[in-house]
Amino acid sequence: MGKTAYKRLQGSQSFRQRLLLATLSSTPILIEDIRADETWPGLRDHEISLLRLFETVCDDCHVEINETGTKLKYKPGTIIGGRQHRAHDCGVSRSIGYFLEPLTVLCLFAKQPLTIRLKGITNDSKDPSVDTFKSTALPILKRFGVPSEGLELKVESRGVPPNGGGEVILSLPVVQSLAAVSWIDEGFVKKIRGTTFSTRVSVQFENSMIKATRGIINPLVSDVHIFSDHRSGPQAGNSPGFGISLVAETTSGCFISADNAVSHARDDDSSSLADDAKRDLMPPEDIGVGTANALLGEIAQSGVVDSTHQGLLFLLCALCPQDVSKVRVGKLSQYGVETLRNIRDFLNLKFIIKPEPNSQSVFLKCVGYGMKNLSRKVS
| DSSP-assigned states of every residue in 282-319 | PPHHHHHHHHHHHHHHHHTT--SS-GGGHHHHHHHHHT
269 falls in which pLDDT band (50, 70, 90)?
very low
Write out pLDDT tens, residues 49-106.
Answer: 999 999 999 999 999 999 999 999 999 999 999 999 999 999 999 999 999 999 999 9
Please say if the pLDDT value at position 1 is more than 80.
no
The larger pLDDT score, comparing residue 3 to residue 220, is at: 220
Q: Do 34 and 69 meet the contact criterion of CB atoms below 8 Å apart? A: yes
| Amino acid 358: pLDDT | 82
Please say if the pLDDT value at position 276 is more than 70.
no
For the chain, which domains are there? 1-79 (3.30.110), 189-267+275-301 (3.30.360.20), 306-367 (3.30.1370)
| Amino acid 3: pLDDT | 82
Q: What is the DSSP letter of 133?
A: I
Residue type, 210: I
Write out pLDDT tens, residues 281-294.
Answer: 679 999 999 999 99
d(CA 371, CA 379): 21
| Amino acid 376: pLDDT | 56
Please say if the pLDDT value at position 315 is more than 90.
yes
**Of the candidates 67, 11, 66, 70, which has an alpha carbon nearest to the alpha carbon of residue 41?**
70
Who's near 188: CB < 8 A, 6+ residues apart?
A: 250, 251
Q: Do 325 and 180 meet the contact criterion of CB atoms below 8 Å apart? A: yes
Residue type, 129: S
The chain-wide mean pLDDT, for the chain, equals: 93
Please say if the pLDDT value at position 271 is more than 90.
no
Q: At what angle do helices 15-24 and 96-107 cross, to 10 degrees?
A: 20
359 falls in which pLDDT band (50, 70, 90)?
confident
CA angle 91, 97, 103 (to 5 degrees): 90
121 phi/psi in degrees, rounded to 5: -95, 125
> Is beta strand 112-120 parallel, antiparallel or unpaired with respect to 166-172?
antiparallel
pLDDT over 90 percentage in the chain: 90
| Amino acid 268: pLDDT | 40
- Buried/exposed code over 358-370 (b: 16+ C-beta within 10 A; e: otherwise): eeebbebebbbbe
**Of the candidates 51, 152, 40, which has an alpha carbon nearest to the alpha carbon of residue 104?**
152
| Amino acid 379: pLDDT | 40
Write out pLDDT tens, residues 147-206.
Answer: 999 999 999 999 999 999 999 999 999 999 999 999 999 999 999 999 999 999 999 999
| Amino acid 282: pLDDT | 75
**Of the candidates 111, 280, 284, 273, which has an alpha carbon nearest to the alpha carbon of residue 197?**
284
**What is the model's pTM?**
0.94
Please say if the pLDDT value at position 327 is more than 70.
yes
d(CA 279, CA 316): 43
Q: What is the DSSP letter of 376?
A: P
CA dihedral sign, ordered 286, 287, 290, 296 = negative
212 phi/psi in degrees, rounded to 5: -65, -40
| Amino acid 378: pLDDT | 44
280 falls in which pLDDT band (50, 70, 90)?
low
Burial class of residue 264, CB neighbours in 10 A (0-12, 13-18, 19+): buried
